[in-house]
Amino acid sequence: MKPYAEVIGDPIAHSKSPLIHNFWLAKLGIDAEYRATHVRPDELADYFTRRRGDAEWRGCNVTIPHKEMVLTLLDEIDETARSVGAVNTIVRREDGNLIGSNTDAESLVAELSDELNSIAVAEFGAAVIGAGGAARAVLHAFARHSVTGVTIAARDIAKANALLDAFGLDGYSQGLTEDIETSGILVNASPLGMVGMPELTTEFTGRPLVFDLVYAPLETSLLRSARARGLPTLDGLVLLIGQAALAFAKLFGVERPLGVEAELRALLTA
């Protein structure tokens, strides 16, 4: 058997992770594989017991609905995952111990480093739409970069206020029908605009960098309207590929190959 890693979730067929990791493994000529494995919530504990004893298993990525549930089944949780309250990458150390991290949040901290430290964000603040797991990863990045003046737009304002408190952020929560005012950065961390979901109707004023975490479709109406106004944008593949790159290094012990991103993006959007 060759070394392997995998993504676990329920359901799992939709996951793009095997395509990304196997693309990088093939480019690097590494004889290992990355699978998708369907694990239901009631199977999680048994799954880890089996995998702990499997020396070929390097670890796994974790997707919906397990990102919070796995916290109690691991031996160590790193600081970022603890702050976000969710794990998306688990690495098996040689002694069999399982270490949980959150590369969504790590990737957002890294990708947004320049933007979050920019004068625009310092002056005009940062906003996030949504109050779920992805929003928590974004708020972790805001807190890491000591952003002040954070707006959360969500359907549940009490939940959004609790998030501002939890991350020690100075800011304001509002509903989804109110315009968002920011010229710093605006991140959509809700599923609104995703295939099969209602469109995001929240409007914004100002001239922020607009980052939509939704990647299906890649060109959301939020990004279309931002581009039509001449604003800088980042699409959902930035995070999808960014979090996978950090997970790849943890799981396989090597950096992803460079110079192949355009080919990977074409594969992911084919």
Q: Point out the residues that are catalytic.
A: 67
User: For residue 71, which of 49, 46, 99 has the smallest C-alpha distance?
Assistant: 99
Token pair, residue 158, equals 């009490």
Residue 131 in contact with ligand NAP, rule: CB under 6 A:
yes
By CB under 6 A, tell whether 192 contacts ligand NAP: yes
Query: Cα–Cα distance between 137 and 86 in angstroms, integer?
Result: 9
Strand partners, 92: 98
List the one residue from 90, 134, 147, 226 that touches ligand NAP (CB under 6 A). Answer: 134
213 is an interface residue for ligand NAP by CB under 6 A: yes
In whole angstroms, the minimum distance from the beta carbon of 11 to ligand NAP comes to 14
User: How far apart, in whole angstroms, are the C-alpha atoms of residue 265 and residue 260?
Assistant: 9
Q: Using alpha carbons, list the distances in angstroms from residue 112 to 109, 120, 139, 188, 233.
A: 6, 13, 12, 14, 12
> Closer to ligand NAP at the Cβ: 182 or 220?
220
Q: Is 214 in the site for ligand NAP (CB under 6 A)?
A: yes
Region of 186 (left: φ > 0; alpha: ψ -120 to 50; beta: rest) is beta
By CB under 6 A, residue 132 contacts ligand NAP: yes
Could you say whether residue 194 binds ligand NAP (CB under 6 A)? Answer: yes
| By the rule CB under 6 A, 264 interacts with ligand NAP | no
Helix (H) or strand (E) holding 77: strand 76-77
Among 198, 230, 258, 270, binds ligand NAP (CB under 6 A): 198
Question: Among residues 59, 130, 149, 171, which is the contact residue for ligand NAP, using CB under 6 A?
Answer: 130
CB of 115 to ligand NAP, least distance (A): 16
Say how far residue 84 (Cα) sits from the centre of its chain: 11
* 155 lies in the site for ligand NAP, by CB under 6 A: yes
Q: Which residue has 């106004």 as its token pair? A: 229
Distance CA 166, CA 97 (A): 29
With CB under 6 A as the contact rule, which of the stretches 73-81, 110-118, 145-153, 209-217 interacts with ligand NAP?
209-217
| Residue 100, beta-bridge partner list | 77, 90
Q: Which of 240, 245, 251, 264 binds ligand NAP (CB under 6 A)?
A: 240
Residues that bind ligand NAP (CB under 6 A): 104, 130-135, 154-156, 159, 176, 189-192, 194, 198, 213-215, 236, 239-240, 243
